[in-house]
Amino acid sequence: MTSVTRSHPPFDPELAAVLAAMPAEMFGPIVIEEILSHRETILAQQVVPDETLRRGGAIELEERRVPGPPGEPDLTLLILRPANRTGLAPGLYNIHGGGMITGDRRSGVNGMLDWVEEFGLVLVSVEYRLAPEHPHPAPVEDCYAGLVWTAEHAEELGIDPDRLAIIGGSAGGGLAAATTLLARDRGGPALTHQLLLCPMLDDRATTPSSQELDGEGVWDRNANLAGWTALLGTARGGPDVPPYAAPARAVNLSGVPPTYIDVGSVETFRDEVIDYAARLSQAGVSVELHMWAGAFHGFELYAPQAAVSQAAAEARLSYLRRAFGS
């Protein structure tokens, strides 16, 4: 398939500087085979030890084996909650990112512990089966099963069942959006909010922004096609992909909980995120959309000190305060 790479908006100067200063290999083409062959090593390099997560005793950490989808293996939930909790607290169900093919229940969790402390919330992070070994529907059904278990055992976990929200970034954002649609269509569990951070929503990859990055930035069009293909195989981009695999394909977006959704302006996902936000709004959903100028995918993880990264963290915290603060 030949296509001309469209030009993209410029990177934020601080983020461009990060791209320039990091080892070149880190931003080169993502080769799925390489990731798969070294997956364990990659995850081991990124592990955050228990004592870091416990924050000197301020946070309790628990791992639970819970039933998976019917007829499928059990799965593991990581549960983090404030040590000195009283009564029932809001719950946040987290689905990690990693392009559908990597990551684990601890990926990115360290960055959410401030919320556990500030809001006294209970963070539940699910370990879902990864593609390509486990293509759709395994990942999203695992996420849904973990959510159902969490809601059914809410009080035991210290969660107020009427204050359960869902969050996910990148592939986790796509899975969170899909899990939310499943929860709506299967009659539960009830979710108060969904937070979709740079979510991966559209396997068709035909939007203008999905063509803009070719060997540049983070998660370019080649990586995107590879990630979706790992999840969907040859069905990718075709007529048989359901919205629970690619939420952008959902026709009916009504009845979805209030949504926070963000994306960088120099991302493959930019246009599908803006479109999803628009269509949610048109279906009567309360949406807060942030597009971060000059930001590439995952910018906050690579350069948390940059001004735009700080702004993104502030905006998200502001929304959480409005969501959980009452």
- DSSP symbol at 35: H
Query: Does the protein bind another protein through residue 306 (CB under 8 A)?
Result: yes
CB-wise, 102 or 150, nearer to another protein?
102
In the list 2, 7, 45, 326, the residue contacting another protein (rule: CB under 8 A) is: 45
Query: Does the protein bind another protein through residue 310 (CB under 8 A)?
Result: yes
**Is omega for the bond preceding 70 within 30 degrees of 0, making it cis?**
no
Query: Does the protein bind another protein through residue 253 (CB under 8 A)?
Result: no
Contacting another protein within 269-298 (CB under 8 A) = 298
Instruction: Choose the stretch contacting another protein; rule: CB under 8 A; options: 14-22, 148-156, 190-198, 274-282.
Output: 14-22
How many of the other CB atoms lie within 10 Å of CB of 14? 16
Minimal distance in Å, beta carbon 29 to another protein? 11
Of 241, 242, 277, the residue nearest 258 (C-alpha): 277
Asked whether the beta carbons of 142 and 126 are under 8 A apart, the reply is yes
3-state secondary structure of 254: coil
262 vs 310: CA distance, rounded Å: 14
**Is omega for the bond preceding 189 within 30 degrees of 0, making it cis?**
yes
Minimal distance in Å, beta carbon 201 to another protein? 21
Query: Does the protein bind another protein through residue 125 (CB under 8 A)?
Result: no
Query: Does the protein bind another protein through residue 305 (CB under 8 A)?
Result: yes
Tokens representing residue 231 in the block: 């999840």
312 vs 214: CA distance, rounded Å: 25
In the list 94, 102, 150, 209, the residue contacting another protein (rule: CB under 8 A) is: 102
CB-wise, 55 or 64, nearer to another protein?
55
Query: Are β-strands 75-82 and 122-126 bridged in parallel, bridged antiparallel, or unpaired?
Result: antiparallel
- DSSP symbol at 206: -
In the list 5, 10, 50, 233, the residue contacting another protein (rule: CB under 8 A) is: 10
Q: With CB under 8 A, what is the number of residues at the site for another protein? A: 35
Minimal distance in Å, beta carbon 36 to another protein? 12
3-state secondary structure of 1: coil
Residues near another protein (CB under 8 A) = 10-14, 16-23, 25-26, 28, 30, 34-35, 38, 41-42, 45-46, 102, 298, 301-307, 309-310
